[in-house]
Chain A
Amino acid sequence: MSENKEIEIMQSVYDKNDETASKINGLLTEKGIFAVNVMGAPGAGKTTSLIQIIKRLEGVESYVIEGDIEADFDTKKLLSLGVKAIQINTGGACHLDSPVIGEAIEKLELQKGVLFIENIGNLVCPAEFMIGEHVKMLISTVTEGSDKPYKYPLAFEKADIILINKCDLIPYLDFDEDFFMKGVRALNQTAPVIKVSGKTEDGYDQVAAWIREKINL
């Protein structure tokens, strides 16, 4: 048998997803849409936070793509509040990828504004896949504990803005903010970290102001 012939390839295997993601990003940018990929664990308060943020973006058209494995509770809640929302059910997949976003965007009939894409509740996989967003928003919570940046570094590294939700519960918990922030800053020196509470509505003015600033860039 003859010797093997080696052919150099050096090609990233992500390319199909990334290619679609950058096409979607271009399309959204052209339409004047600023897209936010919202990531966080199940129960972190992603939808609750979106409602608070959208309330504070008066004058800006807001859209939401809701990603869930199953069910459409969050979409129904958003629609009942008059938010233009669409549901994606992945039927098992642990993150959203660009082809499904491409399809959802066509259905939403977007005009200039902000598109929030609420990813599947998961601190791992959503951080690994671009879906056409301009920024990634990570919602962490004090109830998850202060060790999260150390356990799920990629999500914290990739985030452009980090919200710490449920801060009204701090008096009842052993959340070590210094330890949390030390981990965040080792991974990510630039993302603003904003303390919020979906219950008391504290902190969301600052989040909305950050988004407005980004839109106007």
Chain B
Amino acid sequence: MHEYPITQRIIEIAWEYAKENQAEEIKVINLVVGDYCGYVSSSIELYFGLIAEGTPCEHAELHIERVIPKLRCKSCGELFVRKPFHFECPICSGDGEPTQIGQEFFIKSIEI
């Protein structure tokens, strides 16, 4: 639901950078979206098409790099993808704790 305003913001930021670089249109926006960042990639894609219409991003491709969240084992340090209903490390069965991996949400670059 909150992907609509954030997609507008993505277009705004991309356009600010494009203008600084004397571009008249944006060809590609490279976005990094972690699965735990709170925004759903498919919804961003859906809104992007609608919001970009009539803007310098109208013909831009949106490339989304998804990041699968990982936990870090408190005992052995292993980074791992958790199984549903478990926080256990697959190597040593220790408890995993949350990391920043999977919480990313940023514009990596644009192509003009």
Contacts and interface: CB of A to CB of B under 8 A. Distances in A.
Indicate the size class of the contact surface on chain B. Answer: 20 to 34
A128 B18 CA distance: 29
B9 A187 contact: no
Nearest to B14: A9
Majority secondary structure, A binding face: mixed
Given A9-B110, A94-B2, A150-B85, A14 B105 contact: yes
B112 A12 contact: no
Majority secondary structure, B binding face: mixed
A187 B97 contact: yes
B71 to A, nearest CB: 8
Contacts of B31: 13
A13 B6 contact: yes
B70 to A, nearest CB: 13
A81 interface: no
Contact of B96 (A16, A93, A186): A186
Nearest to A186: B87
A6 B109 contact: yes
A10 interface: yes
A213 B109 CA distance: 45
A82 to B, nearest CB: 35
B36 interface: yes
Interface string B19-40: 0010100011001000011100
Given A147-B85, A150-B85, A13 B95 contact: no
Given A4-B27, A13-B13, A150-B84, A128 B110 contact: no
A4 B95 contact: no
Interface in B38-91: 38, 71, 84-87
Interface residues of A, number: 32
A7 interface: yes
A11 B13 contact: yes
A95 B6 CA distance: 14
Contacts of B84: 150
A128 B105 CA distance: 12
B101 interface: no
Interface in A128-184: 128-129, 147, 150, 153-154, 157, 182-183
A4 B17 CA distance: 15
Contact of A157 (B23, B85, B98): B98
A185 interface: yes
Given A10-B108, A125-B2, A153-B98, 7 more contacts: A5-B21, A6-B109, A6-B110, A13-B10, A150-B87, A154-B36, A186-B96
Interface of A: 4-14, 16, 92-95, 124-125, 127-129, 147, 150, 153-154, 157, 182-183, 185-187, 189
